Structures are given as structure tokens and as C-alpha cells.
Amino acid sequence: MNADTQPATQAIVEAEFVKALSIAKIGFYEQDNCTFFASVCLSLTHKIDWSCPTAYTNGIIVGYNPEFFLSQSLDVRKSNVFHEVAHVFLQHVARCLDRDFQLFNISCDHAANLIGKAAGFTIPSGWFCDPRFTGMSAEQIYDILLAEQPDQSTNQPQFGGLGADLRQPETAEEAAAIKAEIDTILVQATMQSKMAGDAAGSIPEEIERYVKELINPKVPWHKLMLAYARKFSKESYSMSKPNRRFFPDFYLPSRHSEKMDRCAFIVDASGSVTDDEFSHMILETTSFMKQLQPEKIDFIQFSTEIKSNNELKSIKDVGKVDFINGGGTKIGPVFDWIIENKPVVAVIFTDGCFHMPELHPKTPILWIIHNNPEWTAPFGRVIHFEFDPQ
């Protein structure tokens, strides 16, 4: 706004802007399958910034010049808001790194506007939205644009539309805080989209992959198994093992783990299980015994019935187990054994290729499912992994 503009006039413009921005936000819900975008939008801070010529975002705050915003049609206002919101959920602010900032901002604009166009938002002719970049990341677009500039110092493309609208954080701490907040926003928005029944593909594919990794981090499966099983080990405090951290001022008990009660390792030994897979399970059984020191392990092999049960009380016993494979797979006999013998926890290694009966053992079950990522269970904890023999 010009310096000679009266404060009263500025107040009127700001009031009109607030109303217009609210209408633009509501417009997100009028677009089909846009719950994700609407949720992200409403999770951000939107503010007036007269120093900005158009609009910008720093990752969690969106700033607008009220006069510029009001100069646009309703459809373009909605697109203006979406454009900045897209920079947020694509985390463009944090992705520039050592790239040319202006060119990368343009690359991000292409990516944001192409997603907006696919979602049904109006993209004005002056905005960067080249269809040849459809489905590409900002980094991929940047590489193409960079290669197309023989003289980068004199041949920079000129901004159109909203101009340079990315504001980078000033410190690493600020960047980390922004990322953490965006991660939370993305998870919540994804859940709301699914609850609203939005169509598959309404969330950009790279965002879905990113959120899935946030929710289900790629932690080695055996560590997840040990963490789960450790909940059933016995821990106590003992004066026989005083806590050395407090010597010599205090003589306090230390916490130590006693041996774990009887547990069961139940291994699918049907015809679909290979020698390599069985050997892998034997190695993990050894690791389990070393770290959790169970009283004993019932090492059971099954196919359509219980084929063998080796009682393991030491690591030496593990080496005596022979692989007995062949036949189909039925989990019912395994449930019968668990119900009768009541181990403190049962770890079942299988590919999940069997019919699940209605029987429900009360013993905690940990399913270790290999090479069957879509498999689910009506009870117990499921850990998936892809077996890749070395």
C-alpha cells in the first residue's frame, strides 16, 4: 500500500481481505476430493504482510499482500491460497539446498501449479505450469530448466504470477522445527482425507509415500520383535545389584531383567518356506535367546499340523533343530497348542498363506510376516518384512 494511504482505508482493505480469504479457504471444500489440501490449509497461519508484493510461505506461515489478493478473481484467490499451501505440503522451502534459489523457486511453482490444475483449481496463463513437467518433482524440473539455460548468468527466466514466494528459514533449528510441524500436519491431513472417503490418488503420490514412512518407519523387523517381546519379560529392582551411578553417596537398588517366562517360536515349515528362510529364523531365535534370556523356547514347526517341538533352554539347543518342511499350511493346530500350553508370548513366522479360523487365543501373538505386505490379522501385532537372501 502506498505511503499516503490513510490508516482508515488500510483497515477497510484488511477487513475485506480477511473476509475474502475465508471465502477462498471455504472454496477448498467445494472442490471434489480436496480434504487433504483443505486440512493442510486450515492448519497453517495465514497473515497480512504489506511488505510482500504478492504472497509467500516459510513452510508454516503464509503471508499475503491484501491489495494484491483482492485484485484477483475469486477462482484465482483460491488458486493463490492453494499455491502457497502446495509449497507447504511439498516441503519446497527445505529442498532448495545449494541450488540456484530463483530457478528452484520457479521449479517449485511448476510442481505446485500442476497439482493444483489436476485438482481442479484455476491456473492463470501467467503462472508457471508447463504440462511436460506433470508428475515430476521440483528437483527433476530444476535439472531440466538448468540444462536448458546455456548462460545462467544472463538467461534466468522471469517470474510471473506470484513471483519469488519461498522464504527460507534463517537457522537449522528453525528449519527442524518447521519440518516437525509440517510432518504432524501431513499425517493429520492424510487421516482426514481417508476418513472423508476421498478418491484414491487425491493426495499426491510422493506425499502418500512420505506420510506412510512417517507412520511406519523402516526399522529392522527383528528390533521391533525384540521391543514387543521385551514387554513380557520380568523386570525388578534388587539390592543384590546396587546401582553404581549413585555410589558412594547412596546405596540404591538397580533394575535388572530376570529370565523371561516360557515363550514359543512357531515356524511355518510348509512347502512354500525355503531352507534360506528357515536358517534366517534360526539366527533370529539365537539373537532372541541372547538378549531376552527366556526360561525356555518351544520351537515349533508346523504345516497342516504340528510337525515338531524342540525345547530350547540354551543357544546350543538351537543348533540341534532340523528343518522339516513340506505340505500345506493350517494355523488351527497352532492355535490349539497355544491355548493348551499358554506361553507368555507366541512369535509366529509365516508368509500368511493360510485360512484364518475364528479361534482367538488369549496369548499375545506376534506375527512375523515375510513377502506378503498386504497381510493383516484380526488380533495380535503384525510385523512385515521382505526376505532377501544374501
In a shared domain, residues 244 and 207 = no
- Residue 265 pLDDT > 80: yes
Domain C-terminal end among 175, 198, 215: 215
- Quick check: is 81 in a domain? yes
Residue 390 maps to a domain = no
279-297 residue pLDDT tens: 888 888 888 888 888 889 9
Residues 33 and 99 in one domain: yes
Q: Assess whether 78 and 136 both reside in one domain.
A: yes
Residues 176 and 259 in one domain: no
29, part of any domain: yes
pTM value? 0.58
Beta carbons within 10 angstroms of residue 317's beta carbon: 16
The cell numbers describing 149, all together, are 539455460
174 lies in the same domain as 29: yes
Q: What's the CA gap between 221 and 369, in Å, rounded? A: 10
The pLDDT-based confidence of 251 (bands split at 50, 70, 90) is very low
Of 185, 215, 245, the domain-final residue? 215
- Structural domain that includes position 91: 7-215
Q: How much is the pLDDT for 54?
A: 95
Cell, residue 141: 524440473
pLDDT tens digits along 366-383: 999 988 888 988 999 888
If asked whether residues 154 and 284 sit together in one domain, one would say no
Considering its fold, how many domains does the chain have in total? 2
My answer on whether 128 and 198 are in the same domain is yes
Q: How far does Cα 283 stand from its chain's mean position?
A: 30
Alpha carbons 389 and 371: distance in angstroms, whole number: 12
In a domain, 126, yes or no: yes
Between CA 352 and CA 385 the distance in angstroms is 12
- Are both 204 and 85 inside the same structural domain? yes
Strand ranges for the chain from DSSP E = 45-48, 55-57, 61-64, 235-242, 253-257, 263-268, 297-302, 306-312, 346-350, 365-370, 381-385
Residue 238: band (very low, low, confident or very high) from pLDDT cuts 50, 70, 90 = very low
Cell numbers for 126 = 501467467
The amino acid at residue 212 is: K
3-state SS of the chain: helix, strand, coil percent to 5? 45, 15, 40
Separation CA 158–CA 102 (nearest Å): 9
Strand 381-385: give its sheet, edge to edge.
Answer: 306-312, 297-302, 263-268, 346-350, 365-370, 381-385
Block residue for cell numbers 497342516: 304
- Provide the 3-class DSSP secondary structure of residue 187: helix
* HSE of 71, CA atoms in CB hemisphere, 13 A: 11
For the residues 118-134, what does the mean pLDDT come to? 94
CA pair distance 122, 120, nearest whole angstrom: 7
* 211 and 249 belong to one structural domain: no
* Domain-located, residue 314: yes
Q: Is residue 346 domain-shared with residue 313, that is, in the same domain?
A: yes
What φ, ψ does residue 326 adopt, rounded to 5°? 130, 150
- CA dist 376 and 367 (Å) reads 9
Do 197 and 280 reside in the same domain of the chain?
Answer: no
Determine, yes or no, domain membership for 333: yes
In whole angstroms, how far apart are CA 52 and each of 29, 48, 62, 67? 27, 9, 11, 10
Residue 168 makes CB contacts below 8 A (sequence gap 6+) with 58, 93, 96, 101
Whether 256 is in a domain gets the answer: yes
CATH number at 287 reads: 3.40.50.410
Residues 143 and 229 in one domain: no
Q: Which of 195, 215, 235 is the last residue of a domain?
A: 215
The pLDDT of residue 271? 84
